[in-house]
Chain A
Amino acid sequence: AQSVTQPDIHITVSEGASLELRCNYSYGATPYLFWYVQSPGQGLQLLLKYFSGDTLVQGIKGFEAEFKRSQSSFNLRKPSVHWSDAAEYFCAEKYDTGNQFYFGTGTSLTVIP
């Protein structure tokens, strides 16, 4: 069964520090991978996506993610976190054989001054 794992339920970082959020996806021949961010009471906003090509993808708000097939990982990174980055982050996977998306359990990010 398809599954996406986000091992960290909650992460706290200081403003200006670097950030890495982990995501592991289940094996798939052609995984479509996404990172979404959700502020409280809001919908989900796409940060970045990967299907093929360069394994380091750039997204909005200064985020990037690296696809590593050997580790089945698609970790999200940001070199310097801002207080406005505090939110819930979801990794998601989709196969090219259907329309269904599979979300990880999410990582809640707290940013302290």
Chain B
Amino acid sequence: DTEVTQTPKHLVMGMTNKKSLKCEQHMGHRAMYWYKQKAKKPPELMFVYSYEKLSINESVPSRFSPECPNSSLLNLHLHALQPEDSALYLCASSQDRLAGANSYNEQFFGPGTRLTVL
């Protein structure tokens, strides 16, 4: 199974709402990522988890709160978002760099959640 799943596919929320994005993989990957992507732009890294611990936070506003409850799941909790946060949110996973020198560590991406903030 080389699939990363994300739910929901689409999400519309108001600026006062609280919602969560979910990501799941069963490839045994111990590195998981959240990216934000605007149209015609490359993915912007938000967070990286390594062995269920947050290892990189790219100065993301606190209205985005990541959570990695276990090695297969990654959540992104959203609260008090702004309209400029509307984007495609991508989850990805890879073998952690500690997996071995000969591991390519390529990322596998989910299909994304299209988020619209009104």
Tell me if A96 and B97 are in contact (CB < 8 A).
yes
Tell me if A99 and B112 are in contact (CB < 8 A).
no
A92 CB to nearest chain B CB (Å): 8
Complex CA gap A101/B33 in Å reads: 10
Complex CA gap A90/B43 in Å reads: 9
Residue of B45, B56, B112 near A41 (CB, 8 A) is B112
Interface residues of B (CB under 8 A from A): 4, 31, 33, 40-43, 45, 48, 50, 55-56, 88, 90, 92, 94, 96-97, 101-102, 104-112, 114
Tell me if A100 and B40 are in contact (CB < 8 A).
no
Tell me if A100 and B56 are in contact (CB < 8 A).
yes
Q: Which of A77-113 contact B (CB under 8 A)?
A: 88, 90, 92, 94, 96-101, 103-106, 108
Interface residues of A (CB under 8 A from B): 32, 34, 36, 41-46, 49, 51, 88, 90, 92, 94, 96-101, 103-106, 108
Complex CA gap A45/B14 in Å reads: 31
- Residues of chain B lying within 8 A (CB to CB) of residue A97: 97
